[in-house]
Amino acid sequence: MSIKTFVEQSLGCWRSQRSGHNLAFQHFEEVRSTIQITAVSPDDAGVAALCQTHGFEPELAIAPFHMAWEGESDWDEDEKIAGSCLLVPIVTGASTGKLLRSQGYAETIPAVGEYHFTEEGMFVLLTRYDRAAAEERIWFGTDNLRFRVSLIRTSDGQGVVTASFASEIRTEMPAK
């Protein structure tokens, strides 16, 4: 699996059903959301800016994309969860690379993750933050069904604080 193919297979509009597990308290969270993944031109000014922030040449950017989400959690049904970010992959090897993000999941600052693909084609992303580390696995069940397991670890990598699982069904193919 290449990051280019993986991003291409991920484009479009997805309906996501996500369960969060708070491991210490055995609490469940249920989130329903819509995720829109759109290709971004490598020549986009935002891509160049994000590359420069992290000290990479913009020419190294492969298949950058934009992600926007909007959803509702059963923990707070009045509040809309919404956000968006620009993601820029930088290839470093046959199945490895870095993923630059204009905004991280666990903290609201720009983040750089390290990704690799397993032999099964599963995308694995590790992102270190100041006080936490995120570990994400994404794989396809069918062409229009993605699964995503996200763990938030303590920054020393030892404990896992929360785990979540999302089933994502593609409801719209990308616009041509």
Contact between 135 and 125 (Cβ < 8 Å): yes
Among 56, 69, 129, 165, binds a copy of itself (CB under 8 A): 165
**DSSP bridge pairs for 172:** 13
Biggest alpha carbon–alpha carbon distance for the chain: 46
Using the rule CB under 8 A, is 120 a contact of a copy of itself? yes
Interface with a copy of itself by CB under 8 A: which range of 6-14, 15-23, 37-45, 62-70?
15-23
CA proximity to 49, closest of 6, 9, 86: 86
Burial label, 42 (beta-carbon count in 10 A; 0-12, 13-18, 19+): middle
Interface with a copy of itself by CB under 8 A: which range of 34-42, 65-73, 81-89, 119-127?
119-127
- Taking CA atoms, 161 is separated from 21, 35, 53, 62, 79, in Å, by 9, 24, 30, 32, 23
Among 21, 54, 66, 128, binds a copy of itself (CB under 8 A): 21
Using the rule CB under 8 A, is 160 a contact of a copy of itself? yes
Using the rule CB under 8 A, is 49 a contact of a copy of itself? no
Interface with a copy of itself by CB under 8 A: which range of 28-36, 47-55, 77-85, 106-114?
28-36
Question: C-beta of 169: minimal distance to a copy of itself in Å?
Answer: 6
How far apart, in whole angstroms, are the C-alpha atoms of residue 90 and residue 161? 29
Element (H, E) at 20: strand 12-22
How many residues bind to a copy of itself according to rule CB under 8 A?
A: 27
Contact positions toward a copy of itself, by CB under 8 A?
15, 17, 19, 21, 23, 26, 28, 30, 32, 118-120, 122, 124, 141-142, 145, 147, 149, 151, 158-160, 163, 165, 167, 169
